[in-house]
Structure 1
Amino acid sequence: MIVARCSKAALLAAIAFFFTLVVFNNTTDFDSNYQFVRHVLMMDSTFPGNKGMWRADNLRWVHLAFYIGIIGWEAANAALCWLGAWRLLRAVGLPAAEFRQAKSIGIVALTSGMLLWFVAFITVGGEWFLMWQSKLWNGQEAAFRMFVVEGIVLVLLQLPE
């Protein structure tokens, strides 16, 4: 039981560490990933002549708002995952009902992270802004990978010990 509980806390902490590094990279090398967001929103590398170009957005303030929103979402996820992992570690030796209750922040954090990857990247970026058409500015594989990783951890977290 203790091992399973520690495993859940460690996996949630690993997701927290990942989000922490993502936020660090996005803030210390702001322009690299800003360019990714900008090109996805401008749809400037989608298939020539596609009928979805009316969706393209060329306003820099919109690009900046999207990017800052993504960084904010990632930072909130990092904080929630760290808090969730800490709560799990504090509850490792407690009765089952209390450990189950300690899972709540982690469940919220992982769900929020999955929504980030699925809504912001796979749905809005991938389908609305047709990111899937771009060979250069396509983050769907990475987004899917993180969606699945977080989903696996979410399932494991919710399993009884």
Structure 2
Amino acid sequence: MIVRLSKCALLLAVAFFFTLVVFNNTTDYNSNYQFVHHVLSMDTTFPGNHGMWRSLPYPGLQTTFYAGIISWETVIGALSWWGAIRLLRNLQSPSAVFQQAKSISIAGLTLGCLLWFVAFISVGGEWFLMWQSKTWNGQDAAFRMFTVLSLILIYTSAPEHE
């Protein structure tokens, strides 16, 4: 039972985290928008780099990117809450039922891993060369979040031994 409860607690922590992220991104929109703006504009990358043709200095596209990120985070948060509640409702269920109840949580955690790996590490870090910026480099934070969510995904996915 303690393993099942620990999985629920970690999923609730993920749900809470993404709720706070969405709250912050919507109530203090401009702070994180500035991050998106500078990464997409590539205005703090190495001078004279040959990747500047990739920059998107257009506010409309930057707003669309940022809205997409917030929407993605919202879905992750909702799936995490829903998944944790499903697991809590099935705490006493047989293993096969509890394992099946994990599907929503696994979907949410997978989307979280993809957000940090694809959107931030791959697109932001490599396509928009975020790694070149001393000021607007979020790769360490993205790696940290990808790692945390990956570990919780692996742990949650594993069957419990009765």
State TM-score, norm by structure 2. 0.98
Match of 1:119 in 2: 118
Work out the CA distance in 2 between the residues paired with 1:145 and 1:34: 21
Instruction: Give the CA deviation at 1:120.
Output: 0.4
Equivalent position SS for 1:105: helix
Pairing 1:1-161 to 2, within 5 Å after superposition: 2-161=1-160
C-alpha root-mean-square deviation of aligned residues, in Å?
0.5
Equivalent position SS for 1:57: coil
**How many matched pairs?**
160
Instruction: Give the CA deviation at 1:158.
Output: 1.3
Q: After the TM superposition, which parts of structure 1 deviate over 3 Å for at least 4 consecutive aligned residues?
A: none
Equivalent position SS for 1:50: coil
* Structure 2 alignment gaps of length 5 or more: none
* Structure 1 alignment gaps of length 5 or more: none
Work out the CA distance in 2 between the residues paired with 1:24 and 1:50: 36
Tell me the percent identity.
64
Amino acid of the structure 2 residue aligned with 1:137: W
Instruction: Give the CA deviation at 1:159.
Output: 1.4
State TM-score, norm by structure 1. 0.98
Instruction: Give the CA deviation at 1:157.
Output: 0.5
